Amino acid sequence: MPYFVFAEFGNPHVADFLVELRNALQCKKNLSPVHVTLRGPYRTPPSLDQLREYSERLLGYGVRIGNYGYFSTKKGYAAFVLAECTIFRELWDKPDYKTPLEFIKPHITMFESTERSAALEVRAFLRKENILIHTYNISLSVYESRSVQEDMFGGPVVVPSNLPKHQDILRIPKGILDRARVIGTKCAELLKE
């Protein structure tokens, strides 16, 4: 079973909003946590000591969540919001993707579809809404996948021992979740055609 290292968000306002937005756009509940995949897949999980070392390197760094994009996958297309953090490039190791570090795009997948037009619709929505979140409360988790990107099972979670004193910033447009549900429903209709 492949193992991955995820960066997750400890501020409940940030995590809850991102989960609700993803669920609204996808028109279903997604069981995997909102995350940025930093490392993996690996045949064996990293040691707890290694995870602690990675986690300590995150101290003092924040993640800027905003901007948007889309890409093709083996199963179709995905729309995402970028999750930018200087230290992510140092922690990054995804053997399946041979992208040079200067071109990586750490992201949070918000929508997946077999229809390109649906992913483009979600990307256009994310561009128009222009959310901005800057959060410092980040933890690293190890997840095991029974099938690629499905059925994730959590492993150890390591939170940096001294959380920074910075305050998170959330610029979330009023009514965005209602508008996201409309887009999600529209995209679900595209899939039925």
Query: What is the per-residue pLDDT across 28-50, written as a single tens digit (0 to 9) for each?
Result: 887 778 999 999 999 999 998 99
| pLDDT confidence of residue 178 | 98
User: In this predicted structure, what is the pLDDT of residue 163?
Assistant: 61
Instruction: Note the pTM of the prediction, 2 decimals.
Output: 0.91
Instruction: Tell me what percent of the residues of the chain surpass a pLDDT of 90.
Output: 69
Alpha carbon distance 162, 108 (integer Å): 25
Residue with more model confidence, 147 or 58 = 58
Share of the chain above pLDDT 70, in %: 89
pLDDT at 60 over 90: no
Cβ pair 33, 8 in contact under 8 A? yes
Say how many Å lie between the first and final Cα of the chain, rounded.
Answer: 36
Written as one string, the DSSP assignment of 47-76 is: PHHHHHHHHHHTTT--EEEEEEEEEE-SSS
Tokens standing for residue 148: 């690629």
Residues 6 or more apart whose CB falls under 8 angstroms from that of 180 comprise 21, 24, 25, 125
- Tokens 């909102």 locate to 34
* pLDDT surpasses 60 at 66: yes
How far is CA 187 from each of CA 25, 104, 178, 179, rounded to the nearest angstrom? 8, 27, 14, 12
pLDDT at 149: 47
Taking the C-alpha atoms of residue 180 and residue 22, their distance in angstroms, rounded to an integer, is 9
Among left, alpha and beta (phi > 0; psi -120 to 50; other), residue 79 is: beta
CB atoms under 10 Å from CB of 78, counted, come to 20
Taking residues 168-179, what's their average pLDDT? 96
pLDDT digits (tens, 9 = 90+) for 104-158: 999 999 999 999 999 999 999 999 999 999 999 999 999 988 754 444 556 667 7
Rg (CA), the chain: 16
d(CA 106, CA 162): 24
Between the alpha carbon of residue 66 and those of residues 54, 116, 170, 191, the distances in Å are: 24, 21, 10, 27
